[in-house]
Amino acid sequence: MDLLLPRRCAGCASPGAHLCPRCRQTLRNPPRRIHTRVDPHVPVWSLGPYAGTHRRVVLSMKERRNLAVRRLLGPVLAASVTHLQARGELADALVLVPAPTRAASARVRGGDPVADVCAATGLEVCDALRHDRSVGDQVGLGVEGRRRNLAGALELRRRPGGRVLLVDDVATTGSTLAASSETLFAAGCDVVGALVMCHA
C-alpha cells in the first residue's frame, strides 16, 4: 500500500512517517490519573484527552487493518506502564487485559485494535474477556444506558495469571472498564488499575 498511498502521520497527517517525531513527543507525556462517572473500582490513568494528536491517533489505529499504527502504539503504552511502575503506582509484574470489543466492530476494523496494541507492548497479555451476548453500540448512550447495555454482558474466556492492568482506547463514562473489572473481580482476579489512551 505504501507504493500507492503516500505515508502520512496518524497524528497530524504530515507526510513521511506513520507517526512523526513531534506527535511521538506528544504521546510520550506521562499518563495521569482520571476519574470517570462510573466507578471502575480501580485507579484509571489516561495518556491524554480525547482531542488533538491523541484523538487522531486513536481514530487512525481503529481504521481497518491499520496494523502499522497499532504496532507503533505498543511501545507508547509500554512506556506509560514503565512510568507508572517507576512512580510506584503500579506493581512490577502485570498482565495486560484488553477491554473487550464487540465482534461486529472487530470484523469491521480488521481485528481488535486495543488487543493489537497490547500485543505490541512486549508485556504479558491475556485476552481474558469477551461479550457473551450481542451488545449494542455504546455510542449515543448516556451513563445509565451504557451501564444497562453492558450489565451481565461480559464473560471470562480465560483467567489471567497475575495482577491485571485493564487497557482500553477511550474512557467515556467508565462503564466498559467497570463492567470489565466487575467480571474479573467476580472471578477472583486481582485487578490493580486501568490504562486508557484517551479520556473523553
CA 21 to chain CA centroid, nearest Å: 22
Give the 3-state secondary structure of 128-173: CEEECCCCCCCCCCCHHHHHHHHCCCEEECCCCCCCEEEEEEEECC
Complex with Zn ion: residue 12 or 34, whichever CB lies closer: 12
**Site string (141-180) toward Zn ion, x via CB under 5 A:** ----------------------------------------
Say if strands 129-131 and 44-46 run parallel, antiparallel, or are unpaired. Answer: unpaired
Check binding of 68 to Zn ion (CB under 5 A). Answer: no
| 151 three-class SS | coil
Smallest distance from Zn ion to CB 32, Å: 22
Residue 103 to residue 100: CA distance in whole angstroms: 9
How many residues of this chain bind Zn ion (CB under 5 A)? 5
Check binding of 9 to Zn ion (CB under 5 A). Answer: yes
Complex with Zn ion: residue 43 or 75, whichever CB lies closer: 75
Helix (H) or strand (E) holding 192: strand 191-199
Grid cell locating 80:
506509560
Q: Which of 3, 7, 8, 11 binds Zn ion (CB under 5 A)?
A: 11
Smallest distance from Zn ion to CB 186, Å: 42
Check binding of 23 to Zn ion (CB under 5 A). Answer: yes
Check binding of 12 to Zn ion (CB under 5 A). Answer: yes
Complex with Zn ion: residue 11 or 100, whichever CB lies closer: 11
Residue 117 to residue 57: CA distance in whole angstroms: 12
CB 161 within 8 A of CB 95: yes
Smallest distance from Zn ion to CB 28, Å: 13
Complex with Zn ion: residue 11 or 40, whichever CB lies closer: 11
Residue 26 to residue 121: CA distance in whole angstroms: 18
Positions in the binding site for Zn ion (CB under 5 A): 9, 11-12, 20, 23
